[in-house]
A and B are shown apart, each in its own frame.
Chain A
Amino acid sequence: MAESLITEGDPQQLAPKEPGSRKPVRKRREQGWLVIALSRIAVFAAVVAFWQYAVVSGLVSGLVVPTATEVVSRFWRDLVSVLTGGAMREHFLVTAGEIYAAFLIVLVGGTLAGVVIHEVRFVNRVIYPYIVAFAAMPRVAFAPLVLIWFGFDMASKIVIGIMIALFPTLVATLAGLAATDDEKLQLMRALGATQLETFLKVRFWEALPYIFAGLQTSVVTATIGVVVGEFAGGRRGLGVLVTVYQDSLDIAGSFSAIFLLSLVGLFNYYVMQYARKRIVYWVGERVPA
């Protein structure tokens, strides 16, 4: 789990699993991959061992930091509880549901809004400064207000998730639509294509890699938004559990809930990576923007 946090923002780290196109490169890569994998396990083991030692030897107080084995066994228990329909499942499903609701709305809404804002030039010119201004705001600070407006249940968390996650996708869509290669537009004009045809056959496709880069950021920021919303108040959810455990000094429980959240994040990251490779197949490993 600790490993996932390190590699999360670094797609290159996850790339070596893909077979290379040329043989010599591939061979070298695979050798390197084995060494790297072993080294990663070693780093993980070292961190866990040091953690365990620090607590057991009294370097840090066992009252505020549980031992590594305590955290690992608690996490395992909670994970089993999620999988077998125990008490943790409800919290897990609520948070995951909030994340996916927020993300799906961002996926559809952010992309559509980007298209409309870009295509209607007047709207673009009027709206753009406001988008920039709103994107620059510390939007998490609205969380307590959103709770007042949308209540303590899932709706408020979804709204905060959307507020945080919308901009990466919206901005990436706008950037992608603006980035269309002039030569391709000239070709479409020479072929007598209409505006709509040019959009459907060229502009949208050209924007897709950008949109995916935006969505990959949005899926992570949606998680942050939802958890912040749960911190602000609520009855169910992993973020709620973190605060509840904090109040009762159940540190191992907090760790476990956080790790369950990273599990969701890790899963989302890989799903997005897979989807990007399937849908934006012509781009390869390179991620724009």
Chain B
Amino acid sequence: MVIVELSEVGKTYHPRDGAPVVAVQDVNLTVQEGEFVSLVGPSGCGKTTVLNMIIGLLAPTTGTLELRLGEESRQRPGVVFQRPVLLPWRSALENVLLPSEVGGLRARRSTPDDGGEGGSRRAAMEQRARSLLDMVGLQGFESKLPTELSGGMQQRVAIARALLLRNQLLCMDEPFSALDEFTREQMNEQLLSIWHSQSLTCVFVTHNLFEATFLSDRIIVMATNPGRVITELEVPLPRPRTRDMMTAPGCVATVARIRQLLGLSTSSQEREPAGGGA
């Protein structure tokens, strides 16, 4: 079942001073339920713009965008940004609980898993928040303030927060780019196991091609000037993925193919000795 569908979607900004800027144009993209899809491309290719339109932070200027997230039409995608964006006055647990406290009264009354009225809903939410923190490996850190947690731990809190309301769709915008290489690999593995165990659908933005390949079923390759999708690739790696696959021929070949598509490969460098880097 298709749960995200973009057809001919474009976004143009109209700055007060100057000509309109086309951030992205003619994007056709579908995401199947349970799929892991990554958007890759150089800065300025509009990958974050596309993600922000899916999240609902931006409205497309042209084309149509549709989300089909279960019966509760009010359900939103869970979101993880590049930075954890935790509220520093709230403990880890309270940060995870934030989504259950907002969205207006109507939304709060009709949560999928509420056992009853008032206090018991809060209790159920708290229980879920605790189990999510366990799942991301933060048991025992529930009452810590964000400043007492490392960058990787903060981002794990952000992931738990994104999943509190049993969100089916998880949208992530370069969530691990601020982490060191080792932590990032660990987080990649953990994310895959969460994706699998929670039957999530993921849309993942990154500029790290190995990360995209390791995580994804499908990679959407984007380019600049104007921002657009140039192609889609299926990743020829079996599931479940293991860390060894980072160096498997299928992985390396996929990365090489994307580099070529983006004009980063050796063949294009030979033609332009000055370097074809984007």
Q: Which residues of A are in contact with B by a Cβ distance under 8 Å?
A: 183-184, 186-194, 197-198, 201-202, 205, 281-282
Find out whether the CB atom of B104 lies under 8 angstroms from the CB atom of A187.
no
Find out whether the CB atom of A194 lies under 8 angstroms from the CB atom of B85.
no
Find out whether the CB atom of A187 lies under 8 angstroms from the CB atom of B145.
no
**Chain A nearest Cβ from B182, distance in angstroms:** 25
Residues in B whose Cβ lies below 8 Å from that of A186: 57, 81, 85
Find out whether the CB atom of A282 lies under 8 angstroms from the CB atom of B102.
no
**Chain A nearest Cβ from B128, distance in angstroms:** 16
Residues in B whose Cβ lies below 8 Å from that of A184: 85, 87
Find out whether the CB atom of B102 lies under 8 angstroms from the CB atom of A183.
no
- Residue B101 is within 8 A (CB to CB) of chain A in the complex: yes
Most chain B CB within 10 A, of A187, A188, A192, A198, is at: A187
A281: which of B57, B89, B101 is its contact (CB, 8 Å)? B89
| Chain A residues touching B, majority SS | helix
Q: How far is the CA of A184 from the CA of B88 in the complex (A)?
A: 11
B88: which of A193, A198, A201, A282 is its contact (CB, 8 Å)? A282
- Residue B79 is within 8 A (CB to CB) of chain A in the complex: yes
- Residue B147 is within 8 A (CB to CB) of chain A in the complex: yes
Find out whether the CB atom of B57 lies under 8 angstroms from the CB atom of A201.
no
30 A-B pairs whose Cβ atoms sit less than 8 Å apart in the complex? A184-B85, A184-B87, A186-B57, A186-B81, A187-B85, A188-B102, A190-B57, A190-B77, A191-B76, A191-B79, A191-B102, A191-B103, A192-B76, A192-B103, A192-B104, A192-B107, A193-B102, A193-B103, A194-B102, A194-B104, A197-B103, A201-B98, A201-B101, A201-B102, A202-B87, A205-B89, A281-B89, A282-B88, A282-B89, A282-B147
Q: How far is the CA of A192 from the CA of B87 in the complex (A)?
A: 16
A189: which of B57, B83, B87, B99 is its contact (CB, 8 Å)? B57
- Residue B55 is within 8 A (CB to CB) of chain A in the complex: yes
Task: Mark B76-120 against chain A: 1 for CB-CB distance below 8 A, else 0.
Answer: 110101010101110000000011011110010000000000000
- Cβ-closest chain B residue relative to A190: B79
Residues in A whose Cβ lies below 8 Å from that of B107: 192
- Cβ-closest chain B residue relative to A193: B102
**CB within 8 Å for A197 and B79 given contacts A202-B87, A205-B89, A282-B147:** no
Residues in A whose Cβ lies below 8 Å from that of B76: 190-192
- Residue B277 is within 8 A (CB to CB) of chain A in the complex: no
- Residue B56 is within 8 A (CB to CB) of chain A in the complex: yes
**Chain B nearest Cβ from A46, distance in angstroms:** 42
Q: How far is the CA of A197 from the CA of B88 in the complex (A)?
A: 17
- Cβ-closest chain B residue relative to A283: B88
**CB within 8 Å for A205 and B87 given contacts A191-B76, A191-B98, A193-B103:** yes
**Chain A nearest Cβ from B50, distance in angstroms:** 15
Q: How far is the CA of A282 from the CA of B94 in the complex (A)?
A: 14
Q: How far is the CA of A201 from the CA of B90 in the complex (A)?
A: 10
**Chain A nearest Cβ from B132, distance in angstroms:** 16
Q: How far is the CA of A202 from the CA of B74 in the complex (A)?
A: 22
Residues in B whose Cβ lies below 8 Å from that of A190: 55-57, 76-77, 79
Complex A-B, nearest 4 residue pairs according to Cβ-Cβ distance, in ascending order: A193-B102, A192-B103, A190-B79, A197-B102
- Cβ-closest chain A residue relative to B88: A282
Q: How far is the CA of A190 from the CA of B145 in the complex (A)?
A: 23
Q: How far is the CA of A188 from the CA of B102 in the complex (A)?
A: 8
**Chain A nearest Cβ from B159, distance in angstroms:** 13
Q: How far is the CA of A183 from the CA of B154 in the complex (A)?
A: 15
**Chain B nearest Cβ from A99, distance in angstroms:** 30
**Chain A nearest Cβ from B192, distance in angstroms:** 23
- Cβ-closest chain A residue relative to B56: A190
Q: How far is the CA of A197 from the CA of B104 in the complex (A)?
A: 8
Q: How far is the CA of A205 from the CA of B90 in the complex (A)?
A: 10
Q: How far is the CA of A191 from the CA of B158 in the complex (A)?
A: 12
Residues in B whose Cβ lies below 8 Å from that of A189: 56-57
Residues in A whose Cβ lies below 8 Å from that of B98: 191, 201
Q: How far is the CA of A282 from the CA of B89 in the complex (A)?
A: 5
**Chain A nearest Cβ from B165, distance in angstroms:** 9
- Cβ-closest chain A residue relative to B145: A282
Q: How far is the CA of A188 from the CA of B99 in the complex (A)?
A: 9
Q: How far is the CA of A63 from the CA of B55 in the complex (A)?
A: 79
- Cβ-closest chain B residue relative to A202: B87
Q: How far is the CA of A187 from the CA of B83 in the complex (A)?
A: 11
Q: How far is the CA of A192 from the CA of B104 in the complex (A)?
A: 8
Residues in B whose Cβ lies below 8 Å from that of A282: 88-89, 145, 147
Q: How far is the CA of A107 from the CA of B103 in the complex (A)?
A: 31
